[in-house]
A and B are shown apart, each in its own frame.
Chain A
Amino acid sequence: MVPEIRLDSAPTSFPFWAGILASIVENKGGQVGILDLNALRMNHGEKLVPSQVVSEEISSEDWDIVGIGGLTSTYGRIKQLAPIIRKSSPNSLLLAGGGWSTYNPDEILQLIPEIDIICIGEGELTFSELYDEVKSGNNDFEKVNGLCIRDDNNVKYTAPRALISDLNTIPYPAYHLYETEIYFKYSRHWYSLESFNAKRRAAVVWERGCPRGCTFCSHNGMSRIDLQNIYGSGNRQEGEKLVRISDKENDTFQLPARWPTPKYAVENVKLLKKQYDIDFLTIVDENMTSNKKWTEEFCNLYIAEGLNETIKWGTLGDAPSVATQPHLVETMKNAGCTYISFGFESASDKVLSEDIQKGQTRSHLQKTLDTIKKAKMAPLTTFMIGNPHENIDDLMETVDFWIKNKAEVNPFICTPYVGSPIFYDNKDFVLEQYDLRLRLVNEEKYSIDEDVLKKWKLQALDKFMTECGDATNYTATVSQNFTIPELFALKQFMYTHDTKRMLEWAHQRFEQTGLSQWKHSSKWDSYCSICSAKKELENTIKLST
Chain B
Amino acid sequence: MKTNFKKNESDVVKNQDSNSDENQNRTYTQEEFQDYIVKSGAKGSFMIYRSDNEDEELGIEEI
Using a CB–CB distance below 8 Å, which chain A residues touch chain B? 9, 22, 26, 31-36, 42-43, 45, 57, 60-61, 174, 176-182, 185-186, 188, 190-191, 193, 196-197, 199, 341, 344, 366, 369-370, 373, 379-384, 402, 404-412, 470, 472, 495
Decide: B4 and A31 in contact? CB cutoff 8 A: yes
Alpha-carbon distance between A383 and B42 when the two chains are bound, in angstroms: 11
B6 to chain A, nearest CB (A): 8
A135 to chain B, nearest CB (A): 15
Decide: B2 and A404 in contact? CB cutoff 8 A: no
Q: Is B25's CB within 8 Å of the partner chain A?
A: yes
CB neighbours of B36 from chain A (8 A)? 190, 196
6 new A-B contacts at CB < 8 Å, known A33-B2, A197-B33, A369-B58 = A26-B4, A61-B3, A177-B4, A190-B43, A404-B62, A409-B47
Decide: B42 and A409 in contact? CB cutoff 8 A: yes
A159 to chain B, nearest CB (A): 32
Among A43, A344, A404, A412, contact of B59 (Cβ-Cβ < 8 Å): A404
Decide: B56 and A34 in contact? CB cutoff 8 A: no
| Chain A, Cβ-Cβ closest to B27 | A197
Decide: B62 and A43 in contact? CB cutoff 8 A: no
B17 to chain A, nearest CB (A): 11
Decide: A406 and B59 in contact? CB cutoff 8 A: yes
CB neighbours of A380 from chain B (8 A)? 46-47
Q: C-beta contact mask, B6-25 vs A, less than 8 Å → 1, else 0?
A: 00000111110000000011
Contact A31/B43 with A185-B24, A406-B51, A408-B50 known, Cβ cut-off 8 Å: no
Decide: A373 and B57 in contact? CB cutoff 8 A: yes
Among A181, A366, A409, contact of B48 (Cβ-Cβ < 8 Å): A409
CB neighbours of A366 from chain B (8 A)? 60, 63
In the complex, how many residues of chain B place their beta carbon closer than 8 angstroms to a beta carbon of chain A? 37
Among B5, B33, B40, B42, contact of A495 (Cβ-Cβ < 8 Å): B42
Using a CB–CB distance below 8 Å, which chain B residues touch chain A? 1-5, 11-15, 24-25, 27-28, 30, 33, 36-37, 40-51, 56-60, 62-63
| Chain B, Cβ-Cβ closest to A407 | B47
Closest 7 A/B residue pairs (Cβ): A33-B3, A35-B1, A31-B5, A381-B47, A43-B14, A410-B42, A181-B11
Chain A contact residues, majority secondary structure = mixed
Contact A196/B33 with A33-B1, A366-B63 known, Cβ cut-off 8 Å: yes
B18 to chain A, nearest CB (A): 13
Decide: A379 and B49 in contact? CB cutoff 8 A: yes
B48 to chain A, nearest CB (A): 5
Decide: B4 and A179 in contact? CB cutoff 8 A: no
B29 to chain A, nearest CB (A): 8
Among B4, B24, B45, B60, contact of A412 (Cβ-Cβ < 8 Å): B45
| Chain B, Cβ-Cβ closest to A341 | B46
Contact A407/B2 with A43-B13, A196-B28 known, Cβ cut-off 8 Å: no
Alpha-carbon distance between A442 and B46 when the two chains are bound, in angstroms: 38
Q: Which of A31, A199, A366, A405 has the most CB of B within 10 A?
A: A405
Decide: A34 and B46 in contact? CB cutoff 8 A: no
- 7 A-B pairs with C-beta separation under 8 A: A31-B5, A34-B3, A190-B33, A406-B58, A409-B46, A472-B44, A495-B42
Decide: B3 and A32 in contact? CB cutoff 8 A: yes
Contact A408/B41 with A33-B3, A57-B1 known, Cβ cut-off 8 Å: yes
| Chain A, Cβ-Cβ closest to B36 | A190
CB neighbours of B42 from chain A (8 A)? 408-410, 495
CB neighbours of A43 from chain B (8 A)? 13-15
B33 to chain A, nearest CB (A): 5
CB neighbours of A179 from chain B (8 A)? 2, 11
